[in-house]
């Protein structure tokens, strides 16, 4: 609902285009967003790229008041001894999502935490015009930016219909934007 209501727009490393410089693309997003989600798991903590490079920059921006970092504890791990352990984690009490009896309830708690940060009240946290939470890059398997984090999901017919509608709308916008870009670069064509 946060996305549908226009409160947030979401970016993750899978949105990079083929041929993009992975590190530059991810770094650019980390530098420009207001909310950064750390998707915390043993794999995240083990990744030199996620933990040592991108997370540390995200925390610097948090400490400078330029962005807000929200640790989202997905699976049990030793996160209480990390530089972000001083931050209030989601879901509630930093309980890993996989330990909740109802995972939907856990994700609702995470969504509510993001909403609270994205729509701050008076005197709450950093604010700028574009609120774009991003997920920290997933742990590296074969190349920087690849993802091996998966959550099991069963799709309904409604989910498939929504996906088709959103995919078509995205492709239509991409095509229209490409035509406009070609027109701007090649006057007279």
The whole domain housing 135 covers: 13-148
| Calpha distance 184→189 (Å, rounded) | 9
79 in a structural domain: yes
Model pLDDT for residues 137-154, shown as the tens digit of each residue: 444 344 444 444 556 667
Q: Which of 11-20, 36-45, 70-79, 138-147 shows the lowest per-residue confidence on average (mean pLDDT)? A: 138-147
7 in a structural domain: no
CA distances from 1 to 5, 30, 158 (A): 6, 23, 16
Largest CA distance in the chain: 62
Q: What is the DSSP string of 6-37?
A: TS---B-GGGSPTT--HHHHHHHHHHH-SEEE
**131 has pLDDT over 60:** no
3 in a structural domain: no
pLDDT of residue 24: 66
pLDDT of residue 173: 87
Question: Is the same domain home to 69 and 95?
Answer: yes
Question: Is the same domain home to 141 and 177?
Answer: no
**67 has pLDDT over 50:** yes
State pTM to two decimals: 0.61
Label residue 111 exposed, middle or buried (CB < 10 Å: 0-12, 13-18, 19+).
Answer: middle
Q: Which of 21-30, 41-50, 57-66, 155-164 shows the lowest per-residue confidence on average (mean pLDDT)? A: 21-30
CB 145 within 8 A of CB 48: no
Q: Checking phi first, is residue 188 left (phi over 0); if not, alpha (psi -120 to 50) or beta? A: left
**Where does the pLDDT of residue 57 fall: very low under 50, low under 70, confident under 90, or very high at 90 and above?**
confident
**Where does the pLDDT of residue 175 fall: very low under 50, low under 70, confident under 90, or very high at 90 and above?**
confident
**Where does the pLDDT of residue 16 fall: very low under 50, low under 70, confident under 90, or very high at 90 and above?**
low
How many independent structural domains does the chain possess? 2
Mean pLDDT of the chain: 79
pLDDT of residue 140: 39
Question: Is the same domain home to 136 and 56?
Answer: yes
Model pLDDT for residues 68-115, shown as the tens digit of each residue: 999 999 999 999 999 999 999 999 989 999 999 999 999 999 999 999
Q: Which tokens hold the place of 58?
A: 């995200």
5 in a structural domain: no
Q: 31-45, 93-107, 128-142 — which one is most confidently predicted on average? A: 93-107
Question: Is the same domain home to 111 and 41?
Answer: yes
Question: Is the same domain home to 128 and 51?
Answer: yes
**11 has pLDDT over 60:** yes
């Amino acid at each position: 609902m946060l996305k549908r209501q226009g409160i947030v727009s979401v970016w993750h490393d899978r949105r990079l285009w083929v041929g993009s410089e992975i590190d530059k693309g991810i770094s650019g997003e980390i530098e420009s967003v207001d909310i950064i989600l750390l998707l915390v798991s043993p794999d995240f903590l083990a990744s030199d790229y996620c933990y040592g490079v991108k997370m540390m920059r995200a925390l610097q921006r948090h400490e400078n008041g330029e962005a807000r970092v929200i640790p989202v504890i997905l699976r049990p791990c030793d996160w209480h001894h990390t530089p972000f352990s001083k931050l209030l984690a989601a879901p509630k009490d930093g309980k890993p999502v996989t330990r909740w009896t109802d995972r939907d309830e856990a994700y609702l708690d995470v969504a509510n935490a993001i909403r609270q940060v994205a729509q701050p009240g008076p005197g709450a946290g950093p604010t700028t015009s574009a609120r774009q939470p991003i997920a920290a890059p997933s742990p590296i398997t074969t190349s920087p930016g690849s993802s091996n984090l998966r959550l099991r999901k069963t799709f309904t017919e409604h989910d498939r219909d929504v996906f088709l509608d959103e995919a078509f709308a995205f492709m239509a916008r991409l095509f229209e934007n490409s035509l406009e870009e070609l027109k701007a670069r090649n006057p007279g064509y």
